[in-house]
A and B are shown apart, each in its own frame.
Chain A
């Protein structure tokens, strides 16, 4: 029977000479563990980095991708022109549904505008193509609800008031549309 000794732990690629430590490991182990422990202990008493959500609400940034909303004109009337560009670029099929007709002066009237927030992936595609800067994202991220149906927001849920829309535009350096 021949003795077969693996050259290192189990594979046949030879390790370079002197790669594995050969000297007494105890001393280096003790100093290295002490060093590691000292580093860990130095963290005792430092300021916590965690946030106390939900007691303290975090400040979301300006560009945060949160709940979708429809901005209104300053006087509170609809800004959306029903072009359906947002629905066209949305990666999820039929997520945005718009029903509209044109009144006597060929002005668009939005009858219904629903967004299924339960299927939205918060990509922001829709906000980018809107020609009148109507569909936008709010810094609102608490969207959980008890049923899927509750997540389907209609035009009433989505549309912001005139003054809210103006605030949003002011915060984002957008020129208000009258």
Chain B
């Protein structure tokens, strides 16, 4: 008896799948099943209309838009500062990155200078945020594969970092902390030491995760050689971030176009050559350790050091500045009354008023947030988010409201490759492949 062959539909443009056929022992009927929108493994509301033949996926179509909240249109009806808090709700696992992209775009248009201290604070925030995002991915990815304990361990460590964020910004996930040309408030006194305490613990925790998961035979069986794609596919589909670096390219915006003082730090860009689920797993695990390196350097070289020191110097400067100002007032008063001012006052009044080192401030140039009106112009800023390239394009027409804000989220592009990876693949591999892409649905739908 001839064994029937399952012909795969031709998907133009997908290099790795053309002409693949599979030997099937038994021919079964095609069946359409809906995965989602409410499915524990879709990390949000994604519906995958899947045609399967036996265990093999013949066609798959993601249906998106369940979480659409018109994030881009909202910008056109709100002032720049009014719009800012809503950005948090787009990519809520790593919203520091979205804020960074938005704020830098506007700093570009309005030509605002950002002090070094602010840049370092931003780097610390973003790298800690990258770790929390990867930790959540690690927990849920292994949960999808059937491991429960790592999920709890990852959440425990994530919680420690969230406590730091709460101390700094007042919120655990919806930070709303970066401002045009600065940050909302300086770090609390002693925050740097708290960060140091938390991140000193983390390498041991990462070792623990790796001991549980990295060489586990079940993980190896489900991840090795599954969900392969190569650099050409990344370029075709616009896949960026760790998924792209798992294909052997060390494309990382932090290295290629350093922003926010990333050029000051030494770190490696972890890459893997194979491009399967396991490679993506390893890249993310290595990235968390690299983030720790960056945070350590930022903590040690923070311009101005801890807030307590900056406050102390600020107080000293304030005393001198006050004296000079008082003297100037006395001189002016004496001139007004046509008297001879005291000689000591005159010499004091001629001194320049001292200011604290410009690098140590939390604002380059303070803008009035309520009436912030950048000149007409446009700017595009991009940042290496935990999921890949995140871009924000702002057009300003000189009014307090944006003419247009466009977001380029990494999750959307990374999701488009999923059907091509799944067609011809085993249905049980879906969760491993989908989980390894690290997609967050609010960012897809926006």
Contact = CB atoms under 8 A, between A and B. Distances in A.
A13 B20 contact: no
A63 B168 contact: yes
A43 to B, nearest CB: 8
A61 B172 CA distance: 11
A121 interface: yes
Interface stretch (A1-9, A69-77, A111-119): A1-9
Interface stretch (A84-92, A143-151, A157-165): A84-92
B86 interface: yes
A31 B107 CA distance: 54
B417 to A, nearest CB: 12
B274 interface: yes
A78 to B, nearest CB: 21
Nearest to B311: A173
Contact of A125 (B18, B176, B216): B176
Interface stretch (B41-49, B221-229, B251-259, B374-382): B221-229
Contacts of A33: 216-217
A29 B215 CA distance: 8
Interface in B151-207: 153, 156, 159, 166-171, 174, 176, 184-185, 188
Interface stretch (B74-82, B237-245, B437-445): B74-82
Contacts of B184: 124, 128
Contacts of B81: 89, 125
A19 B217 contact: no
Contacts of A4: 5, 20-23
Contacts, number: 138
B27 to A, nearest CB: 15
Interface in A1-23: 1, 3-4, 6, 8-13, 15-16, 19-21
Interface in B111-138: none
Most buried by B among A15, A20, A36, A40: A36
Interface residues of A, number: 45
Chain A's interface: helix, strand, loop or mixed, by majority?
loop
A65 B225 contact: no
9 contacts: A6-B20, A36-B211, A61-B188, A89-B370, A91-B83, A124-B176, A128-B184, A129-B369, A129-B370
Given A15-B276, A89-B82, A124-B85, 18 more contacts: A6-B20, A12-B16, A13-B228, A20-B225, A32-B216, A33-B217, A35-B211, A43-B153, A49-B156, A62-B188, A63-B169, A88-B79, A121-B86, A121-B174, A123-B84, A125-B81, A129-B370, A137-B170
Interface of A: 1, 3-4, 6, 8-13, 15-16, 19-21, 25, 28-29, 32-33, 35-36, 39-40, 43, 49, 60-65, 85, 88-91, 121-125, 128-129, 137
